[in-house]
Amino acid sequence: MNPVDFETLATFRYQIRKFLRFSKDFLCAEDLTPDQYQALLAIRAASPRCKLSIRDLAEQLQVRHHSTVGIVDQLVSRQVVVREVAPKDRRKILLALTEKGELLVQRLAPAHHEELSRLSPEMIETSSARGTLTQNCSRPTSAAAYCETPWQAEARRR
């Protein structure tokens, strides 16, 4: 990897973190964690064509099974998710949103979609146009010495 590759990777990850920070701050007002929201979103995305199992949700959240059970327990206690026994395999538990959960996701998702739409041109440019990050260089010979990274430029503009 060359220096531009590292800068591209760092910038892309920075843009992801900006979105995640927005989401965390936005969800705080609803007293939800990002994992809880992601669980609601995953359950909603799977419905109505199929329902998620705890195992499926753990994969979606990229957390361990027992952590997923804890997240689901919290959502069930808020009455936004219900557990259902799978009709074909009674050992398997499936997850569904309640009406309250559906309304909550319908209220939260548009703001996330809007923020992602706002950030996505930068993210797409960063991930697909390798080398464009050095456009702010005053001299092409030493990118590290003369470039301003996108996050430095944004901090300076604030």
Residues lower than pLDDT 50 in the chain: 132-149, 151-152
Position 8 scores a pLDDT of 86
Position 146 scores a pLDDT of 34
CB of 80 closer than 8 Å to CB of 97: yes
- The strands making up 93-97's β-sheet, listed across from edge to edge, are 52-53, 93-97, 81-85
Position 17 scores a pLDDT of 93
**Partner residues linked to 155 by β-bridges:** none
Question: What is the pTM assigned to this prediction?
Answer: 0.74
* Sequence-separated (6 or more) residues with CB below 8 Å from residue 117: none
CB of 71 closer than 8 Å to CB of 60: no
